[in-house]
Structure 1
Amino acid sequence: MANVLFYLALSLIWLMLLYHMFLMQGGYLHYLRYEKPIKEWEKANKPLPMVSILIPAHNEEVVIERTLKAMVRLQYPKDKLEVIVINDNSSDRTAEIAGSFASKYPFVKVITTQPPYAGKGKSTALNQGLLHASGEVIVVYDADNTPERMAVYYLVLALQNDERAGVVVGKFRVNNAASNLLTRCINIETICFQWMAQAGRHHWFRITTIPGTNFAIRRQILEQLGGWDEKALAEDTELTIRVYNLGYYIRFFPAAITWEQEPETWRVWWKQRTRWARGNQYVVLKFLKKLFSLKRKSIMFDLIYFFFTYFLFFLGVITSDLLLLANLLFDLHLGVGIVSTILWILAFFLYVTEVLIALSVEKTELNLKNIALVLLMYFTYSQIWIVLVVYAFCLEMKRSLFKQEVTWYKTERFQKDNAVHPPSK
């Protein structure tokens, strides 16, 4: 029995690794092609729509000034642009700093959430911002984001010229990657996510997940859906499923780039990633029950992928690790022979290859320092993720069983002096 479980667990791990390699191939092909339509779209010269940028902000005085400076620099007609800072129950200088920009620039607005909506989390804040927005296209940025000058233009350009797309998603990069070992790991993680999960799934299946930032969505879709789900911790993933179920698809267009700050301490990282894991688990459990009633059948593959990622894959890893540990303490007659050893070594090199291909897409990222870090991440960063997902699952099950109210955790920001931000393009 132990041998059957062990090899079943190895099979689950290998299935996921091979699928990620398949995605990485698609991501690389998307990288080679995504810029080709730009000239044709610009020649079409379609009129640009009114755009409302929503920036939910709760105690963001550390980063909000830099974010609003980036908004002011955006290359988009200012008479067709409004930037709405949603001051959500802040107790610091967020409202004061945002207000100073609003007094200088007519297209910048500040609204303050009121009870009973104040301090309820990002989804609630976005829904309140939507009530004050006048644009036919809604763009969302987190308060720590500094989009490049052409980011919003590219998001809207793709949306205007691709009628089947309900949402256009851009690329995000880490502006404080050089701060410490943790941020370097996160930088590699985000690069892999862009070119593997986002670009790869878009290329092969026309499936992309809406991130929490740097995306444009048609206002009519949000109104049809009733806005964001205020119970979801991963409001972006949840919105993704509902957009696809309406019959639209989501385009990944990495020409639109934003730079964001990532956690610089393990404590902040743990809280943020726990929220992400719990949020995605909530989405899987919410929609898996409706799997066969979904109108857009292709999204079934995405739900199954999330189910595999956050449940079966980690179950396989944990099962194999526990069996190996138990075999050291008790004689389980586990047949860990040459075949399983070779499979583990090959899995390690497959993981490394996938990550290095993703890094090669971004200029300057495929270097000796990052190659050494990738080797280290397999045994450290990736293993910590396993523990985190188990912890998040326990919390989510507890919330579901005891009908607990969802508590939103806002990621702690760090002083801007820690950021190494490239020149705006």
Structure 2
Amino acid sequence: MANLLFYSSLTVIWLMLLYHMFLMQGGYMHYLRYRRPIQEWEKKKQKLPKVSVLIPAHNEEVVIERTIKSMLKLEYPTELLEIIVINDNSKDRTGEIADSYASRYPQLKVVHLIPPNIGGGKSGALNHGFKHATGEVIVVYDADNTPERKAVYYLVLAMLNDPKAGAIVGKFRVVNAAQTLLTRFINIETICFQWMAQAGRFNWFGVATIPGTNFAIRRSIIEELGGWDEKALAEDTELTIRVYNMGYHIRFFPAAITWEQEPETWKVWWKQRTRWARGNQYVVMKFMAKLFTLKRKSIVFDLIYFFFTYFLFFFGVIISDALFVVNLFVDLQLNVGMVSIILWILAYFLYITEVMIALGIEKTELNGKNFLIVSLMYFTYSQFWILLVLYALYLELKRVLLKQETKWYKTERYQQGRKQDNLTS
């Protein structure tokens, strides 16, 4: 029995590694050609629609001013740009700072949420902000984001030229990547997500996931769907499934770039990523029950992938590791032969190869320091993810069984220096 479990888990691990190598190939192909249509699109000189940028903000005093400044620098016609900061019951100077800019810039407005219009987390804030939006296209940014000047323009340009796209997703980069070893890990993880999960899936299957920031969506879609799901901790993934089920696709267009902060301490990382994992587990459990009634078969495939990732893959890793350790103290008659050891070693090198290819797309990231970090990442950061997913699953199952209310964790922000401010100047 132990041998069956061990080799089954090893098979699951290898299937995931090979699938991600397949995605990486697709991501690289998408990188080579995603900019080709831009010049042709711009020649059409299409009429630009009015855009409403929604920025949910709860206690964002540390970052909100820099974010607002970057929004005011966006290269999009001022008369067609509406920037809405949703001050979600902040206890610091977030609302005061936003109001000071709104008094000077007519394209900026502030929506102040106070009890009882609070408690829905980011989804609730977005739903309230949407009520005040007048744009044909809705763009969402987190309060720590500094989009590059043409980010919104590129999101809209892609939407105008892809009528079947319900949403356009841009690329995000880590603004504080060099701060700590943890942020270096996250920077590498983020780049892999962009070029494997987003670009790779879009290239092969026409599928991408709406992230929490730097995306544009048609107003009509939000109206038809009735807004964001306030029970979802991963409101972006949940929205993705519903957009696909309406018959639209989601386009990954990395010409639209934003820079965002990431956790600089493990405590903050643990809380944020637990919310993400619980959110994705909620989405899987919500839609797996409707798996065969969903209209779009591509998203059925993606749901199975999420199930595979957050359930089967992590349990496969846990089982293989546990059996190997237990076998050191108790004879489980586990036949870990030379072939298994070779497969383990090859899996490690395949992991490094996949990640380094992704880093190679971002020209400044392919270097010796990142190679050493990736080599370490497999034994540290990746293993912490396993524990985190288990913990998140425990919390989510407890919430369902005890019928607890969903609680939103707000990620801690950090003061950044001039180097980060200059990225959008």
Q: TM-score, normalised by structure 1?
A: 0.99
1:213-362 maps to which residues of 2 (within 5 A)?
213-362=213-362
* Conservation of the 8 A alpha-carbon contact between 2:167 and 2:217: yes
How many Å separate the matches in 2 of 1:225 and 1:365?
A: 39
Which residue of structure 2 aligns with residue 144 of structure 1?
Answer: 144
Aligned-residue CA RMSD (Å): 0.9
Q: Which amino acid aligns with 2:214?
A: N
Which residue of structure 2 aligns with residue 399 of structure 1?
Answer: 399
How many Å separate the matches in 2 of 1:286 and 1:181?
A: 36
Which residue of structure 1 aligns with residue 57 of structure 2?
Answer: 57
How many Å separate the matches in 1 of 2:301 and 2:295?
A: 13
* Conservation of the 8 A alpha-carbon contact between 2:206 and 2:251: yes
How many Å separate the matches in 1 of 2:331 and 2:3?
A: 12
Q: How far has the Cα of 1:325 moved from its partner? A: 1.2
How many Å separate the matches in 1 of 2:23 and 2:240?
A: 19
How many Å separate the matches in 2 of 1:71 and 1:380?
A: 37
**Runs of 4+ in structure 1 over 6 Å off:** none
* Conservation of the 8 A alpha-carbon contact between 1:179 and 1:418: no
* Conservation of the 8 A alpha-carbon contact between 1:176 and 1:421: no
Q: Which amino acid aligns with 2:300?
A: M
Deviation by residue 1:41-99 (Cα, 9 ceiling, x = unmatched) = 11111100000000000000000000000001000000000000000010000001001
Deviation by residue 1:171-190 (Cα, 9 ceiling, x = unmatched) = 00000001111101100000
Q: How far has the Cα of 1:420 moved from its partner? A: 3.9
* Conservation of the 8 A alpha-carbon contact between 2:120 and 2:231: no
* Conservation of the 8 A alpha-carbon contact between 1:233 and 1:278: yes
How many Å separate the matches in 2 of 1:167 and 1:120?
A: 23
What is the percent sequence identity of the aligned residues? 73
Unmatched tracts of structure 2, length 5 or more? none
Q: Which amino acid aligns with 2:243?
A: V
User: What number of residue pairs does the alignment pair up?
Assistant: 425
- Judged with a 3 Å threshold, the aligned counterparts in structure 2 of structure 1 residues 38 and 316 are, in CA distance, closer, same or farther, namely same
Which residue of structure 2 aligns with residue 379 of structure 1?
Answer: 379
Q: How far has the Cα of 1:120 moved from its partner? A: 2.8
- Judged with a 3 Å threshold, the aligned counterparts in structure 2 of structure 1 residues 109 and 356 are, in CA distance, closer, same or farther, namely same
Q: Does 1:186 align with 2:186?
A: yes
Q: How far has the Cα of 1:242 moved from its partner? A: 0.1
Q: How far has the Cα of 1:415 moved from its partner? A: 1.3
Which residue of structure 2 aligns with residue 32 of structure 1?
Answer: 32
Any idea what SS the aligned residue of 2:131 has? helix
Any idea what SS the aligned residue of 1:169 has? strand
How many Å separate the matches in 2 of 1:391 and 1:114?
A: 33
Deviation by residue 1:314-363 (Cα, 9 ceiling, x = unmatched) = 01000001111111111001001101000000000000000000000001
Any idea what SS the aligned residue of 1:298 has? helix
* Conservation of the 8 A alpha-carbon contact between 2:66 and 2:421: no
1:36-115 maps to which residues of 2 (within 5 A)?
36-115=36-115
Unmatched tracts of structure 1, length 5 or more? none
Which residue of structure 1 aligns with residue 11 of structure 2?
Answer: 11
Q: Which amino acid aligns with 1:93?
A: R
Any idea what SS the aligned residue of 1:104 has? coil
* Conservation of the 8 A alpha-carbon contact between 2:89 and 2:115: no
* Conservation of the 8 A alpha-carbon contact between 2:85 and 2:109: yes
Q: Which amino acid aligns with 1:143?
A: A
Q: How far has the Cα of 1:421 moved from its partner? A: 5.1
